Amino acid sequence: MSAHYRPSSLLEIARVRTGLEDYGDDWFRAPFEALVGFVNREAGLREQENGPVERIIASLMDRLKLVQLLKQQPQILDEPIAIAGAIVGMPRTGSTMVHRLLASSPQLNSPYWWETTFPLPLDGEDPGDASPRIELAHQTVEYLLKSWPDFESIDPIDAMAVAEEVILLDKTFLSSSWDSMMHVPSYGFWQAEQDHEPAYRELKIWLQVLQSQQPHRRGKKWILKTPHHLLGGMGGLVKVFPEARLIMTHRDPAEVLPSYCSMCASMTINASSTYRKEDQGAYWTARFLDGLKRFDALRSELGEGAVFDVHYRNTVSNPVDTGRAAMAAMGLEFTAADAAAMEACVASNAREKRPKHKYSMEEFGLSIDRIQADFAPYLKGLPAA
């Protein structure tokens, strides 16, 4: 029998663990309760104490701690946040490399993995000294790689590297992380239909929190990146950060879909009694097509020139030129310091330093002919490499 959870119990666990009571604005309760409902109906979690559920509890704990922090330091909400650009492509399209290139620029900010995972000071942490959280993040990465030994070949997880802000959006319970790490397919489509503006308003607060902890970030714009923008959050992104230039990364879906299915499988298969590998190709095909359809409609609304398109092959063959072009698209001058930083970034992110990612499209119920048929309109409109 699969594990079953009550929202009220999870809320209480978080209260007990933190010693805090105030969750602040109740808007989050609807997506939180919906997510728990989908977990109970679909996830087939084998154990009551399960990693994804612990992540839900940790998200609730961070909500409690955030409310308390803002009571103590309301000036955090005065931190000015400006977004230069947001990388919004499908996963596995070279978006991580583009993100790391742009984040290496001395002109730009981006959150690091350690601080998205542990955005709030630990008990007893000295102001301005985040070393306890950094050490905890290193331990967490080590644990994750032991739990999912093939993950290093799939995603370059690194406590000190820049990270997707989706980890912060997880705390709103409107995030494509949840259907990537659990078998909750109905949740994936449900969250894509929701109003994400409140979630992105909270994301802005989290960025203010991070900026307040590192004042040297003030005066620099942020660069964001997560496929979740495409897979649900796009409406919230453009409402809350209308100044952000959208950077769309592209790659043949035949190279994207099996790779992403493999990543999700590594996180899901051992914890679920309902997960079936052979169904995942169809699921993520539908999720990606839905996101692309929504994005095409938004692109038409925003007008010509609102989106900067980047092809994967250009990212691989000319990464620094790709970074230069993206900075120009965001209205930023490309300096010698930017060039040097990006060259160093390329050198430190060589793919051959990581194990080879092994998978096949057939194990996920995919075929090249079906992918080409499903994504024919997208493939027809792909920018030239």
Q: Which two tokens stand for residue 243?
A: 């100044």
Domain for residue 17, yes or no?
A: yes
Question: Tokens 């097509």 sit at which residue?
Answer: 289
* Assigned domain for 23 exists: yes
CA dist., res. 296 & res. 303, Å (int): 11
Full domain range(s) for residue 242: 7-380
Contact of 122 with 344, CB cutoff 8 Å: no
Q: Output the pTM of the full model.
A: 0.94
pLDDT in tens, the chain (385 residues): 678 999 999 999 999 999 999 999 999 999 999 999 999 999 999 877 678 999 999 999 999 999 999 999 999 999 999 999 999 999 999 999 999 999 999 999 999 999 999 999 999 999 889 999 999 999 999 888 887 666 665 666 899 999 999 999 999 999 999 999 999 999 999 999 999 999 999 999 999 999 999 999 999 999 999 999 999 999 999 999 999 999 999 999 999 999 999 999 988 888 899 999 999 999 999 999 999 999 999 999 998 888 999 999 999 999 999 999 999 999 999 999 999 999 999 998 875 555 566 778 999 999 999 999 999 999 998 877 6
Distance CA 238, CA 308 (A): 15
Is 69 a domain residue?
A: yes
Total domains, the chain: 1
Q: What distance in Å separates the CA atoms of residue 352 and residue 33, rounded to the nearest whole number?
A: 43
Residue 285 lies in a domain: yes
Note the pLDDT of residue 351: 58
Assigned domain for 50 exists: yes
Q: What is the CATH number of the domain that holds 143?
A: 3.40.50.300
Q: Which two tokens stand for residue 120?
A: 């709030």
Give dist(CA 226, CA 233) in Å, integer: 10
Question: Residue 297: inside a domain, yes or no?
Answer: yes
Measured distance CA(214)–CA(210) in Å, rounded: 7
pLDDT of amino acid 357: 63
pLDDT of residue 271: 85
Give the rounded distance of the alpha carbon of 189 from its chain centre: 17
Give the C-alpha distances (Å, rounded to integers) separating 218 from 83, 224, 280, 336. Answer: 12, 16, 43, 22
Task: Provide the token pair at 360.
Answer: 């096949």
**3-state secondary structure (DSSP) of residue 295:** helix
> Do the domain assignments include residue 2?
no
1 in any annotated domain:
no
CA atoms within 13 A on the CB side of 209: 23
Predicted local distance difference test score (pLDDT) of residue 303:
85
- Residue for token pair 């331990």: 139
Query: Quick one: tokens of 82?
Result: 């400006």
